[in-house]
Structure 1
Amino acid sequence: MSANSRLTVAAHALTWIGLYQRRGHEVATSEQIATSVNTNPVVIRRLLAKLGKAGLAGSRRGAGAGWMLARDLGSITLLDVYEAIEPGPVFALHPATPDPECVVGHGIGPVMTAVYDDVEATLRRELAKTTLEDVLRDILKAP
């Protein structure tokens, strides 16, 4: 299994748009954003569509088309971004019900659910502490 990078790509895209707008540009194209992320513009458009539905990004069509922030970087947390692009829990139980006659099969669900609930709560708490303004500030401070 490979790690999921959607949160990183989404945070990258939004932070890039925020910096681009601060530098005097109204909108950014998916091609420009994709160049920074080093991915296909279609990937960026799909991700920004989800972020748009969550009220984090907006788009303009027609002449001068492109993407913009719907909210200030300081009001967007990593939790906001995560919730926009990662529906559902981080971890899940078996897709099929384990053997209830087996001691492990019988007990694995409740035990793992408790662990996963704690992990999810910790993840959400930590993501809520960081805004995209914090991300940009730290990026700009990096050598």
Structure 2
Amino acid sequence: MLSLLASIPGDPLSSEQMAASVGSSPVYLRRVLGLLRRAGFVQSKPGVYGGWSLARPSHEVSLGDVWRAVQGDEPVLGIHGPPPNCPVGGSVSVRLAQVEQRVARAIEASLDELTVADTLPDGAPFTADILSR
């Protein structure tokens, strides 16, 4: 969503427009946009000429910061814990938690090297008519 907003500078977009662009539910999209607003990446304006827009230039927003804002403390691998009375599962669980932490740090480090601007195609920004295609 940040890439879409960055590709159409100056034109606020409704959550319905953005949801249609990516084939998602506007309700789900507003949940994600709420997380991005709390992190200071987007802002919203109500009304007929309102919508969502970037709160910061796209080159100042690292993909790692976006990841942390959206991912939060959710596990990356989605590993489920063992039954509490299983001694083998408990040992495996500790090891897998360490793997989970290493994977999360590796993802964040890689994403920290890029910004939202890096996701945009080269050349001139798009115009709002891209959403009507």
By the TM > 0.5 criterion, same fold? yes
Distance 1:44 1:108, change over 3 A: same
| The one of 41, 51, 56 aligned to 1:56 | 41
The CA RMSD measured in Å over matched residues stands at 2.2
Q: Percent identity?
A: 33
String of CA shifts for 1:92-135, please: whole Å, max 9, x gaps: 450642523xxx23421332122222111111111111111000
TM-score (norm 1): 0.74
- d(CA) in 2 for partners of 1:71, 1:95: 43
Distance 1:113 1:139, change over 3 A: farther
- d(CA) in 2 for partners of 1:132, 1:55: 14
More divergent stretch after superposition (119-128 vs 39-48): 39-48
Residue type of the partner of 1:35? A
> Counterpart of 1:90?
76
The answer to whether the 8 Å contact 1:93/1:113 transfers is no
| The one of 8, 14, 33 aligned to 2:2 | 14
Give the unaligned 5+ runs of structure 2: 125-133
> Counterpart of 2:60?
75
Distance 1:115 1:15, change over 3 A: same
Give the unaligned 5+ runs of structure 1: 1-12
1:127 aligns with 2:111: yes
The one of the two structures with greater contact order (alpha-carbon pairs below 8 A, sep at least 6) is 2
> Counterpart of 2:32?
47
> What is the number of equivalent residue pairs in this alignment?
122
| The one of 75, 89, 92 aligned to 1:105 | 89
- d(CA) in 1 for partners of 2:99, 2:85: 18
Residue type of the partner of 1:86? Q
1:117 aligns with 2:101: yes
